[in-house]
Structure 1
Amino acid sequence: MSKNLTNKVILIFAVLIVFIFGIFGIPHGLSGTALKNAILNRINLGLDLKGGTHLILQVMVDEAVGISTDSDAAHIQTDLQQAGIQVGSVDKPDPAHPETIQISGAPADKVGDIRTELNNKYGATYDISSGANGAWTLTLKPSAVSDMKQRAVDQAIEVIRTRVDQLGVSEPVVQPYNLGSYQILVELPGVSDPARVKDVIQSTARLEIHAVNGGPYTSEQDAIQQSGGTIPFDAEVVSTAAGVARSGATEYYVIKRAAEVGGTDLRSARVSQNPNTNEPEVDFYLTTVAGDHFAEFTGANKGKSLAVVLDNKIREVAVIRDQIRDQGNIGGGMSAQQANDLSMLLNTGSLPASLHYLQESTVGATLGADSIHQGVMASVVGMVAVMIFMLVYYKGAGINADLALFLNLVILLGFMGYFGSTLTLPGIAGVILTVGMGVDSNVLIFERIREELHSGKSPAAAVDQGFAHAWTTIIDTHVTTIVSAAILFIFGTGPVKGFAVTLTFGLLANLFTAVFVSRVIFDFNLSRKPRGAALSI
């Protein structure tokens, strides 16, 4: 055997060892259970095999737009007042169009000053126009609305991913879904409490502290009547959360629309215990800038009330006894689990908008086990059938093809182990398809070798020409299929991506085994035969 051929054989064995390690790593024992656990530690099982929850969420992006324009409306009112311009109101007249802010009752002699003030601070994101009777309209530019909506989806994905990670869900999938529809796909393999996970994901956890203008009232209508028949444009009516009011009934307060402290002002949160009641509470801490502002506000408003609002429900109403800087707490009949969840939610940040569930499906672990069993059986039966066919039809060369197929499977699984890929049921189908593609490559090569033999060439020359002529076809078929798999990976969801991953890894392995390994086996076989001896093919 030539030195060049020896080096190629050593390379093949080295590749085999490397990818076997990729499959098993360093197993703790050689029993069947130990080897199985070693494989599962390297190759993750997808939702359809491990069981879990599949969710499609709709991000209510109009809420994110509305929250932004609410804040801008409050700032516009303040900015105009600081510029010495008194207007009647700054509000959003049409709930169906949260991108529009309207100013009413602006003085006619201040048109130039108003336009300058608005253009300087809001002209970059709003189209500004004036109307009759001192009316001004600010409408978010389409590009600003589009950016705001997409930013809401991106932020929601990051918040959901952080929350899911803190819940300990392994290998979750959180990604955009149905591009352009502002939807999110969430797949949670092996979740033990899907109801709790759903609650944690869906909670916006938007914590705000507002100044209280009046209350408590028995109903929203009572709040309106007690406020003179109309709620001021810079205020709103908010109800208490369940169990907050001492009377047990829901109470209503009129609070200032603009928050003194918002969700982005939070630095951290942790679970504590009320020293008087021993009930769990959540202490929260503000950033330095927010703490300075809050200290200034509370110092100037002693004796007045503050409302702690979480997800648009009042959780606490307290009188300002002294200056408060950067710390507060939330209590009120929470269980230990609820306190832990709330602390986690506040630490991971608030969602930019609420989420609606469009689709939910649960895959049981039993179904996953059946899928694994049936998928593995299909792969084994298919591979054995193909190997038998190759032995019968191509005789001695069939052994060559079978060895290449076996090494192809080892390299494929080794790739997945090294990259920590997730194996899905469509991924198993990708493995089976890879076996078919491997056989197809061997058939192309073997048939070309047969043609060369029939034309009278020697076995060595026939092998050389057979591989040379089949190479271009094999490359064409593999490259086009890999491109298709790449498109599936980019635009597909979790299971479809699993199919694309296994198919791509399998095709890359097949280029190595069907061409390089198969050729080395042929050369090794020819080196052991007398010159001119017939080739079993």
Structure 2
Amino acid sequence: MLQIDTWKRVLIWLIVLAGLLFATPNAFYSRVEVHNDTIDAGMPDTSWPSFLPSNLVNLGLDLRGGAHLLAEVKTQDVYAQRMRGLWPEVRNTLRDMRDQIGTIRLQESAPDVLRVRIGNPDGMSAAVAAVRALARPVTSLTGAGANDLEVSVEGDEIVVTLSEAERAATDERTVRQSLEIIRRRIDEVGTREPTIQRQGSDRILIQVPGLGSASELKAIIGTTAQLTFQPVVNRTTNENYAPAAGQEILPSLDEPGQFYILEAAAVVTGEELVDAQPSFDQNGRPAVSFRFNPSGARKFGDYTAANIGNPFAIVLDGEVISAPVIQSHIAGGSGIITGNFTVEESTNLAVLLRAGALPAGLDFLEERTIGPELGADSIQAGKIACIVAFAGVLIFMALSYGLFGIFANIALLINVGLIFGLLSIIGATLTLPGIAGIVLTIGMAVDANVLVFERIREELKTAKGPARAIDLGYERALSAIVDANITTFIIALILFVLGSGPVRGFSVTLGIGIITSVFTAIWVTRLLVVMWFERARPKTIEV
């Protein structure tokens, strides 16, 4: 018989009310957004009732405006860093064999190659064996069984390079690390729902809604923030000065025309930082305080203890920002970076250092700024599309199925509310393709009702009573409804897994729309029909 248990009725209405309640904040978007921002800042706010949900559907780049960047990770930089860091280890290893191999000299070479000349070629085989002993297994599945270094001999020189397996593993590790650091830097700034995705082997797509410009986004992530502490060899005003092997010449940030000659191998690097905060020096000027991990603190303390009276350069991204003279042993692994900073610059530098250094530089292949006006136009176009789709479907259903069509229209309105409620709960980002998914869902949402209503028409022709016809209509249309929506849901799932950006936005709204459509068609519309039938008790019905 045509009936629904009381507990099922209560559960259906509770689901509907919960969905509409979570969708409500989106009708007061600006007000709730200001409320959320105020609360996030730790300040009280009464502009939105605290007992109501405040989850919003996040607006994507094409609806809100913002910045878009496509960056390529310069993985070659990491090879050069590895070779620079390897030289002190090779030098110390060969020094223990000096009576056998003679002098040891670092030779000029490509950035990703380490060339070492020894004075006694007769000891070459022993030197090569010692350097090869420094190699380590490649830490990747594809490089299993391979070593990270390749050591060869050219005349009286030992040539050290990274193996192909290690290069592949390094590339993968570098891109993954860059992706995570970019995400941390953007999260530090507090932007809402950024899109940060890997594209291809060495590219990263970054989209941040609500940000003023692409240049502002580049200022946040474009700096590698490579912080090193290096011994100072000398100073010069000659920009063309040729440093010796194992040394480098870098410009001073605060003193135009001044250059520092430094040991290329750093004593401590920014990778060993555990914290960095904006602060002020003893003169009240903006600065950045920092703290090392135990390993960095030990190296920092040992070096300062052994080099009192010598200058020590603090280098950020290839520029000497400060070169103080070590006055005493600095224990504890903490210190302060001073320079001609503004408060904003010291804050940004602290964010960059705290989030971690990018392992390699970035080349920005594409950058776009989408203004909020364009986003507002997209929202308006989406509203018009939804209204037109709504009006067309509502009129069609009312004219085609009469009272039953009106029940379907009520369920359709509830359906759209449930879609926005679910999007708010999961914190999804709505894009223009996402709006297209909602519009498509509006058209598809009545398909299930059409199947049911047509089935009821067929049952009425067999001279069954109206109650039995309605009951059989829902029962026998169920399998067709489920099959049709499962196949569409599988497509939405595939689009979500394999797609990216706009495609995923479309798949999310389509998938959620399918779930809510099936729920409203099978349960909400049926409940409305049952409630009407129980009150009216009609002898005949027309669908």
TM-score after normalising by structure 1: 0.86
Question: What is the alpha-carbon distance in structure 1 between the residues aligned to residue 273 and residue 32 of structure 2?
Answer: 51
Residue in 2 that maps onto 1:65: 79
Number of the residue aligned with 1:102:
115
SS of structure 2 residue aligned to 1:395: helix
Corresponding residue number in structure 1 for 2:448: 441
| TM-superposition CA deviations, 1:379-423 (whole Å, max 9, x none) | 122112201101101222212321221221122111112112222
8 Å contact kept, 2:79–2:162: no
What corresponds to 1:236 in structure 2?
Answer: 248
Counterparts of 1:285 and 1:11, CA distance in 2: 55
Number of the residue aligned with 2:37: none
CA contact (8 A) 1:267 1:285 kept: yes
1:117 to 130, 133, 147: 130
Deviations along 1:476-495, one digit per CA (max 9) or x if unpaired, are 33223222222332344444
1:187 to 204, 207, 211: 207
Residue 122 of structure 1 aligns to a residue in which SS?
Answer: coil
Contact 2:128 2:158 in 1 (8 A): no
Contact 2:73–2:203 (CA under 8 A) maintained in structure 1: yes
The residue type equivalent to 1:346 in the other structure is L
SS of equivalent residue, structure 1 residue 498:
helix
Comparing 58-67 with 74-83, greater Cα deviation is found at: 74-83
Cα deviation digits, residues 352-399 of structure 1 (max 9, x gap):
111222222222222222222221232122112201101101222212
Contact 1:210–1:260 under 8 Å retained in 2: yes
Q: Which amino acid aligns with 2:197?
A: Q
Q: Contact 1:53 / 1:360 at 8 angstroms: preserved in 2? A: yes
Q: What is the DSSP-based 3-state SS (H/G/I as helix, E as strand, rest coil) of the residue aligned with 1:536?
A: coil
1:215 touches 1:254 (CA, 8 Å); kept in 2? yes
Using the alignment, how far apart are the partners of 1:387 and 1:35 within structure 2? 33
**Deviation of residue 433 (structure 1)?**
0.8
**Deviation for aligned residue 1:261:** 1.2
Inter-partner Cα distance in structure 1 for 2:476 and 2:498? 35
> 1: distance between equivalents of 2:194 and 2:49?
22
1:330 aligns with 2:337: yes
Counterpart of 1:191 in 2: which secondary structure?
Answer: coil
Gaps of 5+ in 2: 34-46, 138-146
Shift in CA distance, 139/527, structure 1 to aligned 2, threshold 3 Å: same
- 1:45 and 1:473 mapped to 2: Cα distance? 35
Q: How far apart are 1:524 and its partner, in Å?
A: 4.3
Q: In the alignment, which of 342, 346, 350 is matched to residue 357 of structure 2?
A: 350
CA pair 91-41 structure 1, distance change in 2 beyond 3 A: farther
Supply the AA of the counterpart residue of 1:60.
K
- Name whichever of 104-113 and 474-483 sits farther off: 104-113
Quick one: structure 1 residues 32 and 492, their matched pair in 2 at CA, closer, same or farther if it must change by over 3 Å?
A: closer
Q: Give the drift of 1:333.
A: 2.1
Which residue identity is paired with 2:186? V
Equivalent AA in structure 1 for residue 71 of structure 2: L
Residue 450 of structure 1, CA deviation: 2.9
Distance 1:328 1:107 in 2: 45
Question: Who is 2:140 aligned against?
Answer: none
Listed as ranges, the matches of 1:155-234 within 5 Å are: 155-176=177-198, 178-180=199-201, 182-192=202-212, 195-220=215-240, 223-224=241-242, 231-234=243-246
* 1:256 correspondence with 2:269: no
**Structure 1 residues 194, 128: CA separation in 2 closer, same or farther (over 3 Å shift)?**
closer
Q: What are the superposed Cα offsets for residues 122-160 of structure 1, whole Å, 9 maximum, x if unpaired?
A: 142334343343433333233322222222222222222
Query: Structure 1 pair 291/529, CA: closer, same or farther in 2 (3 Å)?
Result: closer
Following TM superposition, by how much is the alpha carbon of 1:87 offset from its aligned partner in structure 2, in angstroms? 5.7
Q: What amino acid maps onto 2:171 in structure 1? A: K
C-alpha deviation, 1:259, in angstroms: 0.3
Give distance in 2, aligned partners of 1:360 and 1:471: 50
Decide whether the 8 Å contact of 1:128 with 1:136 is kept in 2: no
Instruction: Name which of structure 1's ranges 364-373 and 127-136 shifts more when overlaid on structure 2.
Output: 127-136
Which residue does the alignment assign to 1:227? Answer: none
Runs of 4+ in 1 over 6 A off after TM superposition: 25-28, 31-40
What is the CA–CA distance in structure 2 between the aligned matches of 1:461 and 1:509, rounded to whole Å? 26
C-alpha RMSD over aligned residues: 3.1
Aligned to 2:165: 143
Aligned counterpart for 1:365 among listed residues 356, 372, 387: 372
Which residue number in structure 1 is paired with residue 321 of structure 2? 315
The CA distance in 1 between the partners of 2:408 and 2:298, in whole Å, is 74
User: Is the CA contact (8 Å cut-off) linking 1:5 and 1:524 kept in structure 2?
Assistant: no
Q: How many residues align?
A: 515
